[in-house]
Amino acid sequence: MTEQLEPLAMKFLNAFAQALATMTLYPEGHPRREGIIDTAFENLRAVQNLDRRASFSFLGDEVVLGQRPIREMRGWDWSTRLANAGIQRLQFESEVTREEFDSFINEVLARLTLQALQQAAPGTHAGTGPIRFGSVGIRELTPEPEIQTASIELSLHEEAETVRWLHEETVRAADIPLGEAEAVVRSLAAAMHGDQAVVLPLLQIRRYDEYTTTHSLNVCVLAMGLAEWVGLGARDIRAFGTAGLLHDIGKTKIPTDVLNKTGRFTPEEREIMNRHPVEGAKIIIATEQKLDLAAVVAYEHHIMLNGGGYPKFEYPRECHQASKLVHVCDVYDALRTNRPYRSAWPAPKVLSYLEERSGTEFDPEVARSFVKMMSEWEPKLASIEEPAEAAAAPPAPAAEGGSVPGQG
């Protein structure tokens, strides 16, 4: 249905934007004004004939229909204009009447032209009848029954599904769907800042064979949190998040029997596992996308400050700042996660480990910043489980998996 819905959604959004532009030129009741609103409404009707609960997100230069970015609308300037007016999310609860649409589009115009003097504060939501719109944020865990929101639920289920699909596409087509990856990063960035407070939504692993998906999402969130903590700008924060999301993409080239092994690796299996940074960099470079930083991080994220780790360099060199940052986030999440060969470590033990290895494995400044951030933000962690259908596999016997606990 998505293939049929997307062209109709594009027609609606373009007609919607044209209506807003035309409404600034003509007074209420003018035939030109009413005619263009009619056109936008008819396009909305066509969309709702396929999906009555259609939803749109305007995240930077990305337009997302449901959970999928519309590639052809990337860079649409109205996406930024709507988001700046507090309309990052637009969703329809049921079929819309012409009167309801008219009321809605007039309110949007008021926001765009600063006529709404009592405009809702960021993080709040508004709407008329079946139309809901507002800033993207985290839905309250126990909302009042009468509150209707247009927000991202405190769940990473959709993002996890997108990352699983991304990994499958990488295997199938040897190409990374960059639009979907960036949409996940933007969604996570928005979820981190719900209700005017920084929250780190981390997904708990339920199935050992889904570790790479879960771990990629968590490292993405941690990398963006740390990048923001050390004072980087929004563009760099998202770039570091994309690098974190893709840092283990090379594991799509690792045989599943090696990737999910519950016991000690043989030397041959360890050699196969240690290839994933090189494989990841090759995959990213081959996409011909603007992912130079992600390729560097995929290659370097297992290299230690003292030259240890892998891949090995004949002549040691300093790694990129993003690689140092993702390295710390990678090890933290790995050690905080139950694995087939060991139980998850408690947070204080992991932070102590990072401090102990500071100056040898980890860059001291990066490790110090991460430990300080997590010490302050630990109460703000939102530990999330996937829906019950992703049932947890029974724990496997404890065994050692590698030279560094939890890494692979």
Q: How do residues 245-293 score in pLDDT, each as one tens digit? A: 999 999 999 998 898 887 788 999 999 999 999 999 999 998 867 789 9
Residue in the block written with tokens 């289920």: 157
Question: What is the pLDDT averaged over residues 125-153?
Answer: 46
Q: Are 77 and 217 part of one and the same domain?
A: no
Q: Are 130 and 168 part of one and the same domain?
A: no
Asked, for residue 164, whether it belongs to a domain, the answer is yes
Q: Are 103 and 173 part of one and the same domain?
A: no
Q: Are 77 and 175 part of one and the same domain?
A: no
When mean pLDDT is compared over 53-67, 126-140, 185-199, 290-304, the highest value belongs to: 290-304
Asked, for residue 406, whether it belongs to a domain, the answer is no
What percentage of the chain exceeds 70 in pLDDT?
A: 82
Please tell me the distance from the alpha carbon of residue 206 to that of residue 215, in angstroms, as a whole number.
12
Q: Are 58 and 171 part of one and the same domain?
A: no
Q: Are 165 and 121 part of one and the same domain?
A: no
- Report how many helices (DSSP H) and strands (DSSP E) the chain contains, helices first: 15, 8
What pLDDT does 339 receive?
Answer: 77
Tally of domains in the chain: 2
Please tell me the distance from the alpha carbon of residue 320 to that of residue 312, in angstroms, as a whole number.
16
pLDDT band at 178 (very low <50, low <70, confident <90, very high): confident
Which runs of consecutive H residues, i.e. helices, occur in 29-122? Answer: 31-50, 77-84, 98-112
Q: Are 223 and 328 part of one and the same domain?
A: yes
Q: Are 215 and 364 part of one and the same domain?
A: yes
Please tell me the distance from the alpha carbon of residue 208 to that of residue 215, in angstroms, as a whole number.
11
Q: Are 337 and 290 part of one and the same domain?
A: yes
Q: Are 201 and 263 part of one and the same domain?
A: yes
Q: Are 231 and 330 part of one and the same domain?
A: yes
Q: What values do phi and psi take at 128, rounded to 5?
A: -125, 120
Q: Is the pLDDT of residue 91 over 60?
A: yes
Asked, for residue 143, whether it belongs to a domain, the answer is no
CATH of the domain at 299: 1.10.3210.10
Question: Which residues lie below 8 Å from residue 308, measured CB to CB, with a gap of 6+?
Answer: 360, 361
Asked, for residue 180, whether it belongs to a domain, the answer is yes
Asked, for residue 146, whether it belongs to a domain, the answer is no
Asked, for residue 37, whether it belongs to a domain, the answer is yes
Q: Are 340 and 192 part of one and the same domain?
A: yes
What pLDDT does 200 receive?
Answer: 81
Q: Are 13 and 73 in contact (CB under 8 A)?
A: yes
Residues spanned by the domain of 20: 2-134
Question: What is the pLDDT averaged over residues 158-163?
Answer: 84
Three-class DSSP category at 55 = strand
* b/e per residue 299-309 (b: at least 16 CB within 10 A): bbbbbbbeeeb
Please tell me the distance from the alpha carbon of residue 197 to that of residue 108, in angstroms, as a whole number.
26
Asked, for residue 145, whether it belongs to a domain, the answer is no
pLDDT tens for each residue of 347-393: 999 999 999 999 999 999 999 999 999 998 876 677 776 554 443 43
Q: Are 329 and 223 in contact (CB under 8 A)?
A: yes
Asked, for residue 405, whether it belongs to a domain, the answer is no
